[in-house]
Amino acid sequence: MLLIKNGRVLDPVSKTDQTLDLLLDGECIAKVGANLEALGADTYDASGLIVAPGFIDLHCHLREPGQELSETIETGTRAAARGGFTAVCSMPNTQPVNDNASVTRSIVERAARSASVRVWPIGAASIGSKGEALAEIAAMKAAGIVAVSDDGKPIATARLMRQVMEYADSLGLLVIDHCEDPSLFAGGAMREGAQSLRLGLAGIPPQSESICVGRDVEIALLTGARLHIAHLSTRRSLEHVRWAKERGLRVTCEVTPHHFTLTDEDVCYDTRYKMNPPLASRDDRAALIEGLGDGSVDAIATDHAPHHPASKDVEFDRAPFGITGFETALALGLRELVHSGKMPLMRLVELFTSGPAQVLGVERKIAVGSPADLTVFSTTYEWTFRAAESPSKSRNTPFDGRAFRGAPIATVVRGQIVFRR
Amino acid sequence: MLPRLANLLGIESLSREQINFFLDQARPFQEFQRHPLKKLATLRGKTVAVAFFEASTRTRISFTTAASRLGADTMALQAEASSLKKGESLMDTVRTLEAMKPDAIVLRHSSSGAPDFVASRLEIPVLNAGDGTHEHPTQALLDALTIRDRKGQLEGLHITILGDILHSRVARSNIYLLSKFGVRITLCGPAMWVPRELERLAPELRRSLQIEEALEGADVVIVLRVQTERIHEPALAPDEYIAGYQLTPERLRRAKPDALVMHPGPMIRGLEIDSSVADGPQSCVLEQVTNGLAVRMALLYHLVGGPPTDAPDPPKD
C-alpha cells in the first residue's frame, strides 16, 4: 500500500482540483479523501506537488526488436518514467515490423520483463508497412495492440486506407496515420520556406502533410470509421481536423512538444533539428497552440525517436529524422503553454492524460477502483535537462542543456513508484 | 589587417569590410598570374588538404594551383577514389586527413552544411569550395573581383542572375555578397526555380520570370548552369528552357551596351547561353577563371599564412 499525502490532485475527468490524499492498494486506487491514514502503508509526501492521472504517450519508438543500438524497451521506458509517462504506445516500425501476432507477443513479453511503464504496442496496418496487403490486424489485437499505423510512412493509398479503417473499426481498433504526400515530400530535409532556401536544404511544403490529412478525412467521411492523425504540424492540417470534428466525424489528432515549441527558423545544420514532420512555420506553431487550447487537438504525444549518436553525427541531408522526447515533454508543455499563459494547468494535464486515453477509447482518471497510475509533478522545480544523463540510449535532442521550470517528480505505475526525483 | 578568420564557410556571415579586404588582398595575386615564374615561398612547408566529395574539375584545379603557387603542398582526396564508397563516414574520412596534419582543408561536398559540420569538429581552418545548394563563397568573391575591376565599384549596379536559382549555391553566395554592397539584384528563371521566398534572403532582391524584363538596363548578367543532376522535380524540356531563358544576342541587347556576361562554369553552350554570347566581347568567363586563382591565393594566404607559430621550448629538466 502507498499513501500519497497532501498533493494538489488535478483530475480533468472529474474536474477535481484540491489538496487530497490518495491510498493505493495493489494496482488500484483504494481511497481518495482528506487526511487519509493507513496503517502499514508507505507514505509519499506530495506537499507542493501536483498529483495527476498517469500520463499516456500515444506515439513513441522503442526500437525493440531490431534496433537495440538506439533504444530498448528497458532503456526507453526508463526514460519515459523520468518524463512522467505511465503508459507509452510504441510504433510498429521495428525490425521486423510489428505486423503479426508473434512480434506483438514478443514485445508484450519483453515489456513484461523489462519495462518500467506500461507498453501498449501499435501494430502495422499493412504487411511490412509496405502499403500493399493488410496485416494480421485481428490476431495482433488478440495479442495486445491498441491501434494500427504504418508510422514512418503514410498508409500508402486511399484505397488501402479505406480498407484499413473499415476493418480496424469493426475490431474496435484505432487507425493512426502519419500524413505526408511522398511526391511533395520528395527527399526533403526540412520545411520549405525562407530558411530552407537560406540553408540550401531541400524543402518540404506544408501541403505534403495537409493533402494527406485531407485525404484521410475524406475516407473518414466515406467510412464513418475512427481516425487519428499523428504528429499534426500545420495550420491547414488542423483545419481539416476541425472540419471533421464539426461534421461529427470520429477524427482526433496529436501534437508534439517540439512542434509547439520550435519553428523552421530554429533549424541549422545541427541534425538534432531534423525531424519528420519538419519544424513548421511560426504561423503553424501559433495555430497548434491555439488548437491545443481550444480542444481541436486531443493529445500531446512525444514521437520519441531515438537514433544512436553515430547515425545522427553526419551531414544534415543524410541524417535520419527524429528526436528523443520523453523527458522534456512536460517541461516544454509547462513552459510554452502554461507559464506563458496560453492555457490553464488543468488543460495541459488533460492533454497528457484523459485526452490521449479518449483517443484510445480507455479511461484515465483519479477515482476509487481506477488503476493506480499517477504522475506527480512540480510546476516550479528548476532544473537543466542533460541528455548525457538520460537512461535512453540516444542523445538526439535539441533541448539538451535547456533550463526548465517544472518537472515530473514521481511516476507511479500499478501502485509502484517507478521513478522519483 | 583584419583578424584572421577561423574558417571560410560562406559569404552570408561576412561583413562588407571583410569582403573588401579579401578583394583588395587578391589584387597583387592578380598581377602575379602574369609573372613568368609563378611560384612563391609564402606557404612553403604548409600543406593544404583538398578534399572533394563531389565531382569538380575547375574549382579543384584552381585551389590546387593556388596552393602550389603559394609554395604549399597539397593532399588531394577525391570521393571516387576514397573510402567513402566503402561506407566510411564523412567525419572519419576528414579526421583521417587531419591526422596527416594539413594546415587547412578545402572542402567540396554535395550536402549543404557539410563544411559547417566538419569545421565544428576540426581544429584546422575549413575553406568551403561549394556545399550542396548552400554556398560557394570563393566563386562569389571572384565574381565580385571581376565586376569591380570592370565597373570600378559594386555599389549601385543592377545585376541579373539568370537560371536555376533554387538549386544554385553560386546564386546564394552572389546574392549575399552583392546585396551587402547595395546592388539591385534581379533573379530570373523558370517559375519553379525562382521561388518567391527567395526575396526574403536579402533586401533589394527582385524576382522576374520574363527574361526580357529581367535584363532591361542590367550592368552585369550572371548566367547559371542548368543543374540537371540536382533537380528533384520533373525537369523542364531543354527546348522549353532555350526558348524561354537562353541568353541570346537579341536578349542581351536589353541590358546596358557595356553589360558584362559572366558564367561560373561549366558552361553548356546552346542551353543556357548562346555560343556567340559566350565568346562575345562582353563575356568575362575566362577572366573569372584567372581571378579565381587570385582570390583563392588570397584566402589561403589569409587562413594558412602569417608568421609561423613559435616552436615550443625544449623540455627543461
CA distance B257 to A350: 70
Q: Of residues B108, B134, B158, B296, which has the active-site annotation?
A: B108
Considering only CB atoms, which chain A residues are within 8 Å of B235?
none
Report whether pLDDT(A375) > 50.
yes
Q: What pLDDT, on a 0 to 100 scale, did the predictor assign at position B203?
A: 87
Determine, for residues A199 and B112 on separate chains, whether the beta-carbon distance falls below 8 Å. yes
Q: Which residues contact B239 (CB under 8 A, 6 or more apart)?
A: none
Q: Which residues of B touch A (CB under 8 A)?
A: 12, 89-91, 109, 111-114, 116-117, 131-135, 166, 169, 172, 195, 197-198, 200-201, 232-233
Determine, for residues A316 and B113 on separate chains, whether the beta-carbon distance falls below 8 Å. yes
Report whether pLDDT(A107) > 80.
yes
Are A108 and A144 a contacting pair, CB within 8 Å? yes
Least CB–CB distance from B111: residue in A197, A198, A315: A315
Q: What pLDDT, on a 0 to 100 scale, did the predictor assign at position B84?
A: 61
Question: How many CB pairs below 8 Å do chains A and B form together?
Answer: 64
State mean pLDDT over A172-177: 98
Considering only CB atoms, which chain A residues are within 8 Å of B131?
200
What is the per-residue pLDDT across A239-278, written as a single tens digit (0 to 9) for each? 999 999 999 999 999 999 999 999 999 999 999 999 999 9
Is residue A194 less than 8 Å (CB to CB) from chain B? yes
* Residue B59 appears among annotated catalytic residues: yes
What sign does the dihedral A41-A45-A51-A56 (CA atoms) show? negative
The nearest CA of chain B is from the CA of A270 a distance in Å of 8
How would residue A34 be classed by pLDDT, with cut points 50, 70 and 90?
very high
Q: What pLDDT, on a 0 to 100 scale, did the predictor assign at position B204?
A: 82
Is residue A269 less than 8 Å (CB to CB) from chain B? yes
Determine, for residues A197 and B169 on separate chains, whether the beta-carbon distance falls below 8 Å. no
Q: What pLDDT, on a 0 to 100 scale, did the predictor assign at position B237?
A: 85
- The ipTM estimated for the assembled molecules is 0.91
Report whether pLDDT(A133) > 70.
yes
Which domains does chain B possess? 16-136+290-304 (3.40.50.1370), 137-284 (3.40.50.1370)
Looking at chain A, which residue has its C-alpha nearest residue B133? A200
How would residue A134 be classed by pLDDT, with cut points 50, 70 and 90?
very high
Q: Sheet of B205-208: strands edge to edge?
A: B205-208, B184-188, B158-162, B220-223, B260-262
Q: What pLDDT, on a 0 to 100 scale, did the predictor assign at position B80?
A: 63
Which domains does chain A possess? 2-50+371-420 (2.30.40.10), 54-360 (3.20.20.140)
Considering only CB atoms, which chain A residues are within 8 Å of B113?
199-201, 268-269, 315-317
Looking at chain A, which residue has its C-alpha nearest residue B88? A314
Least CB–CB distance from B198: residue in A197, A199, A317: A197
Least CB–CB distance from A200: residue in B90, B133, B232: B133
Q: What pLDDT, on a 0 to 100 scale, did the predictor assign at position B297?
A: 97
What is the per-residue pLDDT across A47-97, written as a single tens digit (0 to 9) for each? 999 999 999 999 999 999 999 999 999 999 999 999 999 999 999 999 999
Which pTM value belongs to this model? Answer: 0.94
B interface test, pick of A192, A198, A282 with most B CB neighbours within 10 Å: A198
Q: What pLDDT, on a 0 to 100 scale, did the predictor assign at position B3?
A: 85
For residue A198, give Cα distances in angstroms to A265, A268, B17. Answer: 10, 10, 22
* Residue A21 appears among annotated catalytic residues: no
Least CB–CB distance from A269: residue in B89, B117, B133: B117
Q: What pLDDT, on a 0 to 100 scale, did the predictor assign at position B310?
A: 44
Least CB–CB distance from B232: residue in A198, A199, A202: A202
pLDDT tens-place values along chain B, 317 residues long: 678 899 999 999 999 999 999 999 999 999 999 999 999 999 999 999 999 998 888 999 999 999 999 999 999 988 765 556 667 889 999 999 999 999 999 999 999 999 999 999 999 999 999 999 999 999 999 999 999 999 999 999 999 999 999 999 999 999 999 999 999 999 999 999 999 999 999 988 999 999 999 999 999 999 999 876 655 556 788 889 999 999 999 999 999 999 999 999 999 999 999 999 999 999 999 999 999 999 999 999 999 986 544 444 555 55
Beta A42-45 vs A2-11: how paired, if at all?
A: parallel
